[in-house]
Amino acid sequence: MRGRIFADLGRLEDAQADLETVFAADELFPGTRAKALVGLADVAGREQDSARAREYLDMALRCSDIDDNSLIELLIVSGRLSVAEGDTSLPTPYGRTFSQTKTPPLAKRLSRGIKDSKAWL
């Protein structure tokens, strides 16, 4: 999605506008609205607006057609928000933090995304 590219380039206003246009479109491929909401949450997080970012994430979770990739991105954005808010515990399903356990590949990817969140701080 072009809005995600704009966000990665630091062009947050362009990202916001593009993702809002996608979200408001009448006809979309399945899962696109959820992807746009996760992108909007990412932009809000980069703008240090945690409350708005969490609202977008909640809306994305309520999308009936959210796909696995969007769920992974949602977890990454949520983790970044938690770190930005000062919560670095980040429990795994095993009741330990990522740094205390041998993690499967997906969890390693999520952990890397969370560690990269220092750009938000």
Q: Please write the tens of the pLDDT for every residue from 109-119.
A: 555 555 555 44
* Share of residues in the chain with pLDDT > 70 (%): 72
* Share of residues in the chain with pLDDT > 90 (%): 34
In the chain, the number of structural domains is 1
State both tokens at 119.
Answer: 């750009």
Residue 38 is part of which domain span? 2-120
Name the residue with higher pLDDT: 50 or 88: 50
State both tokens at 36.
Answer: 């746009």
State both tokens at 65.
Answer: 């057609």
Cα–Cα dist 115/88, whole Å:
10
Range 14-43 average pLDDT: 91
Angstrom distances, CA of residue 27 to CA of 19, 65, 114, 115: 14, 14, 33, 36
Residue 63's CATH number: 1.25.40
